[in-house]
Amino acid sequence: MDTMEQRRNAIVDFINEKGNITFAQLEKRFPNVSQMTLRTDLKALDEAKKIVRIHGGAKSVEVVLGTDDYIGRRSVRNVEEKESIAEKVLPLIKPNTTVYLDSGSSTTALAKIWPDQPNFIFTSSMTCVMELSKLSQPSVFVLGGELNKYSMSACGVGAIESVKTVNFDMAILGVTSYSADVGFSCGVMMEAYLKQAVLQQSAEKIILMDSSKTDKKSTFHICQLQEGMTVVSDGNISEDFRLQCEKTKAYLL
């Protein structure tokens, strides 16, 4: 692999890591590369559909798609972190409660180890449904709508309206990104609306978020870090996020 290929692969990795970057950030990351070369690299990578150029910088293809990549790929990334998060949530799940289980790779990891106990479980996730179908005691309710082939979940106006009629004891949500200024966010507008509706109907609010999703922004706002909210993450979460949880009186597990 020549130097140009190595550099361009490194640029893609950098943009995917951050979600979106400014050209100034790119210059800082590659101080020995000229502006002209970096601009040529971005143009070539954009034409190859590996990144998306925007005014003043670039975005990850994953962010522009409105997803955190295909769920099949997500499920094999940060596997230990997702399993750790799922194990932390288990003691919070009580029998004979009504739970909303969101779509995503972290929630799917939780569905795989869900206790075989009486629960009403509402979900829009096809992958969660597949795992929960192996259990005998929970009653599983599947929300309908248009299929998102990336997250393998369904969402639409009907799903949003239906959750407004349910009183959830607990909502277990996945998110695409978190930053201190915009809070939790995702890349699909209808999914953001669905998550907001679920939060309004839930007594207990739990966010599953591995540490790779912090200090990033997606297009559509879900909610801010709130008092009483529980965020379940892995052991690599930043000290800055810990301080934000303390400031807002949110719980961090």
Q: Which residues of the chain are modeled with pLDDT < 50?
A: 1, 65-77
CB of 226 closer than 8 Å to CB of 202: no
Candidates 214, 205, 206; CA nearest to 239 is 214
pLDDT in tens, 224-244: 998 889 999 988 888 898 999
CB of 231 closer than 8 Å to CB of 251: yes
Beta bridge partners of 155: 146
pLDDT of residue 75: 43
pLDDT of residue 110: 94
CB of 142 closer than 8 Å to CB of 121: no
In this structure, what are the phi and psi dihedrals at residue 246, rounded to the nearest 5 degrees? -60, -40
pLDDT of residue 76: 41
pLDDT of residue 4: 87
Helices vs. strands in the chain: H and E counts, helices first: 11, 15
Number of other CB atoms surrounding residue 13 within 10 Å: 10
pLDDT of residue 62: 59
127, exposed or middle or buried, with CB in 10 Å at 0-12, 13-18, 19+?
buried
pLDDT of residue 188: 83
